[in-house]
Amino acid sequence: MSRDTSYILYDIPGNAAKYQAWSQNVWKTRIVLNYKNIPHKTEWVEFPDIAALAQRIGAPHTVLRLGGQPRYTVPILRDPTTERSLAGSLQIALNLERMYPDAPTLFPRGTEDAIIAFDAQFTHSITGVLAPLLLLRIWAQLNEGSKPYFRTACERRFGQPLEAITPPGAPTAARWAALRDALEPFAKDADARGQSDTFLLGERETYADVVAACWLAVGRRIWGADTQEWAELETWHGGRWGRLARAFKRWEYVDTPSVPDVARL
C-alpha cells in the first residue's frame, strides 16, 4: 500500500536499543504500521515536549488527570496530507484497521470486543508488576531532556524514589514470581483454547499478541536480549513468551525493514 507522504510517528528516544525506540506503547503502533505495510517515519520528542507538540498539531489527549486536566502521551500518529492526528496505541490501531480494509488485519472478524478487553486486562495485570522492575533502568537510558520529567512523574505516582522502586541488581525472587504469576492466566487461557502454542486468542496473530509482545519487549530492551532475566522469561509457561516474541521479529524495525531494532531474540 503506497502513499505520497508517509505518516509521522512520534516517539520518545532512548539508548537501550540501537535505533532509539524503547516505549512499549509506541512499539504497538509501529508493529501495526509495519504489519500493514503503511509507510511512516519516526520523529523524536522528549517527555516534557509531548503536550506542546500534541496541542500544536491537534492531537487528542489520551488521559484526564484527577483534576480534569488533559494528559498527552505518545504514540501520536500524524497524517501530513490531511493534518489529522491520532493518539493512543489502541485507538490508532482501530482507526488504521478501518482506514485500510485491504491491508492484513490484526482484528479478524468478530474479535474486536475480545481484543479490546484483552488489551485492558493485560495492561492492568502486567503494568503493576513489570514497571517497577524497569523504571530506574528506563530513566537511566533516557536523554537528559527527559530524565527529570520521568523521575518526577514516577516518584509522584509511586510515592518513593526511583532507586527504591527499582533497586539495583537482579529482581528479587518475590518480584520475579509476581511477574510470572501475572502472565500465567493469559498462558492458561491460550492453552485452554488449544489453537496455538504461540498466539493468545487464536491460531494466528492478532492485536492482542501485539500488546503482549510489546509489553514484554520493553523488558528485553531494558534488561538486554542476552541477560539472564530475558532468557528465563522466554522459558516461562512452556516457552510461550519466547515463541510470541520471535513471531513478531519480522515486524520489529524502525522505519526501514533493512534495519531491525534488535539483532537477536
Reply yes or no on whether the pLDDT at 265 is more than 50.
Answer: no
- 32 with 75, same domain: the answer is yes
- Does some domain include residue 255? no
Reply yes or no on whether the pLDDT at 3 is more than 90.
Answer: no
Residue 1: per-residue pLDDT? 45
Nearest to 133, CA basis, from 73, 217, 222, 212: 222
- Does some domain include residue 118? yes
Nearest to 79, CA basis, from 123, 32, 38, 115: 38
* Model confidence pLDDT, tens digit, residues 20-40: 999 999 999 999 999 999 999
* CA 75/CA 199 separation, integer angstroms: 24
- What are the percentages of helix, strand and coil residues in the chain, rounded to 5? 55, 10, 35
Determine the structural domain holding residue 210 and report its residue range. 112-250
Report whether 243 contacts 198 (CB < 8 A).
Answer: yes
Number of domain units in the chain = 2
Residue 199: pLDDT band by 50, 70, 90 thresholds? very high
Instruction: Please state the rounded mean pLDDT for residues 184-198.
Output: 97
Domain boundary among the residues 99, 132, 152 is at 99
- Does some domain include residue 236? yes
User: pTM above the 0.85 mark?
Assistant: yes
- 78 with 190, same domain: the answer is no
Distance from the Cα of residue 143 to its chain's centroid: 19
CATH number at residue 211: 1.20.1050.10
* Model confidence pLDDT, tens digit, residues 124-135: 999 999 999 999
* Model confidence pLDDT, tens digit, residues 65-84: 777 889 999 999 999 999 99
Percent of the chain at pLDDT > 90 equals: 87
Residue 264: per-residue pLDDT? 42
- 142 with 195, same domain: the answer is yes
Nearest to 130, CA basis, from 59, 219, 66: 219
